Amino acid sequence: MPNILVTGSKGQLGSEIKELSPEYQDNFFFTDRDNLDISNQEDIKHFIETNDINIIINCAAYTAVDKAENDEISADKINHLAVKYLAEIAKEKNIKLVHVSTDYVFDGTNFKPYSESDTTNPNGVYGKTKLDGEKAMQEINPNNSIIIRTSWVYSSYGANFVKTMLRLGKEKKSLGVIFDQVGTPTYARDLAKTILDIIPTIKNEAVEIYNYSNEGVLSWYDFAKEIMKMAKLDCTVNPIESKAYPTPATRPHYSLLNKTKIKETFKIEIPYWKDSLAECLKKMKERK
């Protein structure tokens, strides 16, 4: 029975993995910054040796995209150096490593869905530090390890776009949402299930990169409209351009990910974004 370390277990993806974990016959060790500092090489090594870990799912990340612009040291520590340390111990101890990355490694200027082999060119500190983490992992190259790039993550846990829209939809009669950024949301529960399902079949010598998001194409405006509709909120959503809502970090205008590789390699089906949104809203209602 594998001993699986899940870092960043209080985040959206980590929380979903934790909720799903009883369905799997594995021993899980859920950690966060309070009980394991993954930016400390000795802490990681001690934890892994003490608990005889043989699989790592790295959900930990510095995800404050705008804040990262003025806090590169902290972002680099988690998104780059910690990944490097995890990859080094994974290689040394022959541990399977699943690392979660982002669409922000691309600049968002493509005209067709990004494949795993497309040229990376991050716009800001967050994307750059995540890409540095990917590169470090590829250079160290632990066996049976993969990188999963994802986009627009939301969940019934944590802070995210869906929860923000639900709150604003109750507080306001109307709001403006960006229509010139296009991509696909990812329900963290779908990604969590995929990771747990494919772990036993991951077998590769060089680190492989896979894309994962839900199926479909939409803008943040479309997403907001559907959230209001499904939640039956009387709030008018108006389309606005990105320039009307300036932020410290530049967002990719085009974040569509080509998911053919992960679907064909692991023979998985990916849910349509509307179906997953409905599922998430149902879960939020039940949790209340």
Domain count, the chain: 1
How far is 249 from 69, CA to CA, in rounded Å?
Answer: 7
Asked if the structure places residue 39 within a domain, the reply is yes
Asked if the structure places residue 172 within a domain, the reply is no
pLDDT the model gives residue 188: 98
Residue in 182, 255, 257 with CA at minimum distance from that of residue 218: 182
Asked if the structure places residue 165 within a domain, the reply is no
Domain containing residue 196: 3-160+184-217+255-272
Q: What is the mean pLDDT of residues 226-247?
A: 95
Residue 34: CATH number of its domain: 3.40.50.720
Asked if the structure places residue 278 within a domain, the reply is no
Q: Is the pLDDT of residue 240 over 90?
A: yes
Cite the active site residues: 126
Asked if the structure places residue 232 within a domain, the reply is no
Residue 78 pLDDT grade (very low, low, confident, very high; cuts 50, 70, 90): very high
Q: Is the pLDDT of residue 37 over 90?
A: yes
Are 154 and 186 within 8 A, CB to CB?
A: yes
What residues does 213 pair with on adjacent strands?
Answer: none
How far is 96 from 200, CA to CA, in rounded Å?
Answer: 10
Q: Is the pLDDT of residue 186 over 80?
A: yes
Asked if the structure places residue 210 within a domain, the reply is yes
How far is 172 from 235, CA to CA, in rounded Å?
Answer: 6
Looking at every residue in the chain, the average pLDDT score rounds to 97
Asked if the structure places residue 247 within a domain, the reply is no
Asked if the structure places residue 57 within a domain, the reply is yes
